Structure 1
Amino acid sequence: MQHSIHSAHGPVVFRDRSADFAFLTRSTLSSDRTVQWEDGKVYPVIDVEISSGGHPFCTGNAPVLDTTGRVERFERRYGRREEAR
């Protein structure tokens, strides 16, 4: 890896306060704010609005859409397709 062409990156904590979820990773982003991580070291912290810890799709709390009757409603509106021969 050529050192002169890559951005500087280091450990950063991304924190989703709404879900009380945080994870430590490497990133080119940095921050003036810091947080003490589970290993006792202090890392820069970046607050995010949504993460995998709070997103309904990732947590399994996504609302189930009511799909019953959609095919029938479509067929009433536009008619049935003829069977392919």
Structure 2
Amino acid sequence: MKTGIHPNYRDVVFVDQSNGFQFVTRSCAPTKESIKLEDGRELPLFKLETTSESHPFYTGQQKSVDTLGGRVEKFRNKFARVGIKK
């Protein structure tokens, strides 16, 4: 293999922010935080909005999560003054 062209894969902890589910896998994802696991290892931490533990397709439960602070409401407020003329 050529040297210097492959990313630096390492163990990374991924955490689902909606329910706290954690899993460890090898990744080259950029991280700024780290977490100490129960077995004593300290690994980089990558936070996710949704995983297979919280996604409606995998759980069979539909839940509405508005992480962007009411996109529809922002749109309605922005264009409320324009309205439809009769």
TM-score interval (norm. to shorter)? 0.5 to 0.7
Aligned pair count reads: 63
CA RMSD of aligned residues (A): 1.8
- Structure 1 or 2, whichever has the larger Rg, is 1
Identity among equivalent positions (%) equals: 38
Please state whether the residue corresponding to 1:58 is helix, strand or coil.
helix
Structure 2 equivalent of residue 16 of structure 1: 16
What is aligned with 1:49?
49
Structure 1 residue runs without a partner (length 5+): 64-85
1:16-47 CA distance string (max 9 Å, x none): 12122111001011312111123221111011
What does residue 29 of structure 1 align with? 29
Does 2:59 align with 1:59? yes
Whole-angstrom distance in 2 between the partners of 1:33 and 1:25:
16
- The alignment partner of 2:23 has SS state of strand
Superposed structure 1 runs of 4+ greater than 4 Å apart: none
State the distance in 2 between where 1:14 and 1:24 align: 6
Structure 2 gap ranges (5+)? 64-86
CA contact under 8 A between 1:16 and 1:22: conserved in structure 2? yes
Deviation per CA, 1:42-85, whole angstroms, max 9, x where unpaired?
A: 1110111111111111122248xxxxxxxxxxxxxxxxxxxxxx
